[in-house]
């Protein structure tokens, strides 16, 4: 990722349009900004959320609240709680997320 041609700015995430993305179970609400090729999102997962696909896109995720369980296609699982993050490259390891209680994440990809 190269950050270029992005002037200094701030984002009030409460003013960014919220879009709904249904999972296999539950729903995710995204607030998304684009800066060139970089997508930055604030994502709120409902309680009981399970992704409807195995994702192969690279991300950097920071858990802001709640708990997010991430399963890799090889069977390993990882837990994010507030203040923890993960990072994965494009095409590196298919992964999918779920949460029993709900979670809010800040995601850059």
* Mean pLDDT, residues 52-68: 96
Confidence of residue 87 (pLDDT cuts 50, 70, 90): very high
- The percent of residues in the chain predicted with pLDDT above 90, rounded, is 92
* Mean pLDDT, residues 16-41: 96
pLDDT tens digits, 45-56? 999 999 999 999
Dihedral angle of Cα 39, 44, 48, 51, to the nearest 10 degrees: -10
Contact (CB, 8 A) for 69 and 79: yes
* Mean pLDDT, residues 53-65: 95
Q: What is the CATH architecture assignment of 18-108?
A: Sandwich (2.60)
Q: Which residues are CB-contacts of 96 (< 8 A; sequence separation ≥ 6)?
A: 50, 51, 53, 54, 55, 70, 71
Say whether pLDDT at 89 is over 70: yes
pLDDT on residue 2: 76
Say whether pLDDT at 3 is over 90: no
């Amino acid at each position: 990722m190269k950050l270029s041609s992005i002037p200094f700015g701030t984002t009030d995430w409460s003013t960014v349009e919220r879009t709904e993305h249904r999972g296999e179970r539950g729903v995710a609400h995204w607030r998304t900004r684009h800066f060139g090729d970089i997508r930055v999102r604030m994502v709120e997962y409902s309680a009981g959320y399970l992704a409807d696909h195995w994702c192969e896109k690279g991300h950097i995720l920071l858990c802001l609240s709640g708990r997010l369980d991430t399963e890799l296609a090889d069977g390993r699982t990882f837990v994010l709680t507030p203040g923890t993050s993960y990072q994965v490259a494009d095409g590196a390891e298919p992964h999918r997320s779920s949460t029993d209680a709900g979670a809010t994440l800040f995601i850059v990809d």
